[in-house]
Structure 1
């Protein structure tokens, strides 16, 4: 089932899908009989913008009257007693059926029950094919959506794009779409309208795509079997979305009353969470870097669907990232630890690209080479997204699993063949050789010693430092000090000269470290002086404040790095 927006259909054409009117007595009798089956019907008042009420159609006296039981919704008794017009809606033979306006009179025949009678309908409107028809949400019609993959797992937040009886299309930030796969069950799909009214159902992911501009992910969701009551509620929402879209599109005509669904409730209105993720990042540079992260998220989704690395976009975003490095290297290095909403593969790729290019730039590498380094390092680990998730999330690896894991190198290398502007030796160094070790213990080819290029030796150090200080399913994150000791203590595996250069360049307390000062204060190091000492610190304890050069000395000396970077505590700058 395809839930993509239908670009060729105008709002006016959407509303042309009108019901058929049934007036034949025999057909009306069949439809009314089907509506009276268990599952109930919905009652909607005419001219009153409120959601439908679920009631029971308990008796049908053909050609004379219907008997309604509203005991479960006593709040509508007064309106019915006042003979306020209403319509009944129910399901019959796979179609949605609606009466024309009716009025009701109270009955006193059953003690303890609230019952009303109304005239037998002379005609019925029957709506067909609503399962395939999609009501599109236009500008100013934001509806927040939460997708829960597993009970208890953090929900994925997005916005509703369209809705039908069969399912919906949801727009997600690219950094959240990596958690979703085609065929994946959804334990909860909840759409919250501005009024606070909700649609809650279960379903399954049918597809995950990116939009034409590579800015958002589009997730098609199919509902699991809907109860009659829930199906009527979805149908009501579809009609209200259509009506609101028509109202907003109308120009120079008599305006329609706005739908109550899109009238914000002070207690329920909320900005769709998907829009807030970018603003959460702590620094202006981190918010700019997030645009590069979006490209990597989109590229990862494309790879998972069989595409190759987009050569043009890779070139464009490599130029962007290199430009940010040239503009303010310290701000960019710090920004790389702030992107805690991004998938681990994207965080790692950006961190390695930034530090590797920064280290190579300090060694006077030409700009053309720096761009190739940035481009290849950004995507060097995305081949892992093509491996089975159970393998990537395994808490331990046997020999067979390690062999499977090494396949990510070939999977990505094949997808880079169209990037002809990338020097083959850079691809070889940063994709094929970055996981090799000097003693031959690495993968995929067990290369050693002089088989490994100078660039791959440098890249291996940058890659391993970042990987070791991040959490993995098979181990906790290492502290930076332990990672440094490990690399220095393994000269047979890692080029000792490049390990020392890395430590000298980034320092014992590098930018992005959360440290404890002798004064008792705790803060994030954002900039260092020429001696490797902090000159700008984002203090988070005992009070949150930014300490600039000249103010840092009052914090005392750095006593220890507290833990691996975890920027949720960072104040927004």
Structure 2
């Protein structure tokens, strides 16, 4: 180690290493409903002085920097395809805010001299940095629901776990966790009970950070934990170069055979998965923000109207920017939780059809907000009796879930938020049907507005096109037939309008061709036939993914169109970084 390395601020060195890759820095505060995006303008490796630049047009930016300090997450996407995620989080960093102009701010930060953080209870918190990792399993309900995650820091008092945002719906503040299992790369593991001390969104790629306090530790558990914390501290010191006496990795972090196989499988999966386009990224961001909104409603008892209206405005902007690319991007939501996917896709098609009727329709924004909110009651019902929305439900669980509309209305009433008449109409009546067979109030006919007649058709078609609660998927043609044959449940003129807008081979569906090729439909002609497709697989070589966009006459080279198929049947997955 050179003398210059020895005098580098270790936190600054970690940040510099992550800034070499695609990265995003998010400034957060527990008192604010969303994070701010910041750019690192200056970074002094010797002194640890860092300057962040922030664009912010809202009010109350000072609330992000209470008590003269700031919290931030830095996410970097590494690897050959920039899809391997590494993070670094710092809290209570000394900072001074300076306003440059009406919307531009400079934040001068003094990074800590050590990567190890002294906790309030006197323990030292060890960050998992520079490639350090351990797997975590959270047993949310005894023998019922396990949530996987990654360890982000560890102390003798507890840990912070990085989980998929979709899994956070079952976790709340002060919730007891029957089992927290940490598994280190060499195969050693630690088990304890825990309690959730905090939960928040983590960065910008669909993750949540859960702070857990270990509880009811026995003497042997405490001794084992102390050993793991010491080894983690040693590994962090080795990787950051803060102790030049350390010449090799801790054995705890040397991958064993099991971990090597897992890492190899994960690398192979990353190779198979396609990168997202900017439009797909925009749609996915809305899906993530909807889940963040739920987290704030559940755990902070506030209605994040700014986040939700931003979701609405983003979707409308994307539609108007490039409608066909937007419709294609909606298919990338297929692996998001059903309540999220359904809400975003239904809202998007609702906006598309309303705008095609009248681009200046004043009710579009509020109708879209209602569309995004109309399924939010479902995750609010997750409990030990209904531990997950992903499983095939028994009759008792389906009965619980049928109360999601009332649950959401009760929640917003508690939070003191009053929806507009248009928004409330969608929230309350989106699940009703013209023949009275819907829920929650079995309204029928003239009791339902034109808006509800439209959204009910969009909803049922979307439901039929996706597998839910053990129900199989249907091709668009079969879905249209089912809706048409549903007697008086749906407005047939709206169904015709829907078919005319999206056709028998809607953009975003997966088509199978007689030459044994699978291709995503990217565009259709005036007759509703695909005239641009993205080929992703040759079924003669099922283990190999391909990526080729062809148009018009070239499509005949892959054979005749045989029909629309389910991507899950062919292992086509969406990238999760």
Provide the TM-score with structure 2 as the length reference: 0.66
Match of residue 406 from structure 2: 407
Q: Which has the higher Rg, Structure 1 or Structure 2? A: 1
Match of residue 260 from structure 1: 249
Any idea what SS the aligned residue of 1:499 has? Answer: helix
**8 A Cα contact 1:130 1:165, kept in partner:** no
- How many angstroms apart in 2 are the aligned matches of 1:281 and 1:375? 31
- How many angstroms apart in 1 are the aligned matches of 2:247 and 2:339? 45
Match of residue 381 from structure 2: 387
Query: Following TM superposition, by how much is the alpha carbon of 1:232 offset from its aligned partner in structure 2, in angstroms?
Result: 3.0
State how 1:214-293 maps to structure 2 within 5 Å: 216-223=207-214, 230-242=221-233, 255=244, 257=246, 260-261=249-250, 265=254, 280=273, 282-284=275-277, 285-293=279-287
**8 A Cα contact 2:234 2:250, kept in partner:** no
Match of residue 554 from structure 1: 557
- How many angstroms apart in 2 are the aligned matches of 1:378 and 1:437? 19
State how 1:461-480 maps to structure 2 within 5 Å: 461-473=457-469, 475-480=471-476
**8 A Cα contact 2:116 2:126, kept in partner:** no
Match of residue 321 from structure 2: 327
1:178 equivalent to 2:189? Answer no
**8 A Cα contact 1:460 1:494, kept in partner:** yes
Q: CA offsets, 1:369-421, max 9 Å, x none? A: 444333332222111111244356632269965763442352365378647xx
- How many angstroms apart in 1 are the aligned matches of 2:303 and 2:448? 25
Q: CA offsets, 1:288-346, max 9 Å, x none? A: 32222221121122222262431111222322222222222222222222234422211
**8 A Cα contact 2:159 2:212, kept in partner:** yes
Match of residue 314 from structure 1: 308
When the two chains are superposed, the root-mean-square deviation of aligned CA atoms in Å is 4.3
1:500 equivalent to 2:500? Answer no
- How many angstroms apart in 1 are the aligned matches of 2:150 and 2:394? 34
**8 A Cα contact 1:201 1:223, kept in partner:** no
Any idea what SS the aligned residue of 1:356 has? Answer: helix
- How many angstroms apart in 2 are the aligned matches of 1:310 and 1:174? 17
Any idea what SS the aligned residue of 2:208 has? Answer: strand
Match of residue 140 from structure 1: 130
**8 A Cα contact 1:437 1:493, kept in partner:** yes
1:541 equivalent to 2:538? Answer yes
- How many angstroms apart in 2 are the aligned matches of 1:16 and 1:142? 17
- How many angstroms apart in 2 are the aligned matches of 1:186 and 1:332? 43
Q: CA offsets, 1:139-162, max 9 Å, x none? A: 536423231538999964433232
Any idea what SS the aligned residue of 2:331 has? Answer: coil
Q: CA offsets, 1:209-237, max 9 Å, x none? A: 11486764121334465565553342133
Any idea what SS the aligned residue of 1:339 has? Answer: helix
State how 1:354-503 maps to structure 2 within 5 Å: 354-366=348-360, 369-389=363-383, 390-391=385-386, 394-396=393-395, 401=400, 404-411=403-410, 414=413, 418=417, 424-473=420-469, 475-503=471-499
1:531 equivalent to 2:527? Answer yes
Query: Following TM superposition, by how much is the alpha carbon of 1:459 offset from its aligned partner in structure 2, in angstroms?
Result: 0.9
1:200 equivalent to 2:190? Answer yes
User: Between Structure 1 and Structure 2, how many residues are aligned?
Assistant: 451
**8 A Cα contact 1:146 1:155, kept in partner:** no
Unaligned runs of 5+ in 1: 18-128
State how 1:116-131 maps to structure 2 within 5 Å: none
Any idea what SS the aligned residue of 2:532 has? Answer: strand
- How many angstroms apart in 2 are the aligned matches of 1:245 and 1:486? 59
1:345 equivalent to 2:339? Answer yes
**8 A Cα contact 2:184 2:252, kept in partner:** no
- How many angstroms apart in 1 are the aligned matches of 2:288 and 2:457? 26
Q: CA offsets, 1:50-100, max 9 Å, x none? A: xxxxxxxxxxxxxxxxxxxxxxxxxxxxxxxxxxxxxxxxxxxxxxxxxxx
- How many angstroms apart in 2 are the aligned matches of 1:350 and 1:283? 17
- How many angstroms apart in 2 are the aligned matches of 1:395 and 1:175? 22
Q: CA offsets, 1:90-135, max 9 Å, x none? A: xxxxxxxxxxxxxxxxxxxxxxxxxxxxxxxxxxxxxxx9986241
- How many angstroms apart in 2 are the aligned matches of 1:155 and 1:568? 23
Query: Following TM superposition, by how much is the alpha carbon of 1:461 offset from its aligned partner in structure 2, in angstroms?
Result: 0.9
Query: Which of 178, 181, 189 pairs up with 2:181?
Result: 189
Query: Which of 509, 515, 528 pairs up with 2:511?
Result: 515
**8 A Cα contact 1:183 1:206, kept in partner:** yes
Query: Following TM superposition, by how much is the alpha carbon of 1:549 offset from its aligned partner in structure 2, in angstroms?
Result: 0.6
Query: Following TM superposition, by how much is the alpha carbon of 1:281 offset from its aligned partner in structure 2, in angstroms?
Result: 5.8
- How many angstroms apart in 1 are the aligned matches of 2:212 and 2:251? 22
- How many angstroms apart in 2 are the aligned matches of 1:153 and 1:537? 42
**8 A Cα contact 2:380 2:408, kept in partner:** no
**8 A Cα contact 1:386 1:411, kept in partner:** no
Provide the TM-score with structure 1 as the length reference: 0.66
Any idea what SS the aligned residue of 2:395 has? Answer: coil
Query: Following TM superposition, by how much is the alpha carbon of 1:16 offset from its aligned partner in structure 2, in angstroms?
Result: 10
**8 A Cα contact 1:142 1:272, kept in partner:** no
**8 A Cα contact 2:513 2:559, kept in partner:** yes
**8 A Cα contact 2:429 2:448, kept in partner:** yes
Any idea what SS the aligned residue of 2:403 has? Answer: helix
Query: Which of 554, 568, 572 pairs up with 1:569?
Result: 572
Any idea what SS the aligned residue of 1:218 has? Answer: strand
Query: Following TM superposition, by how much is the alpha carbon of 1:475 offset from its aligned partner in structure 2, in angstroms?
Result: 3.7
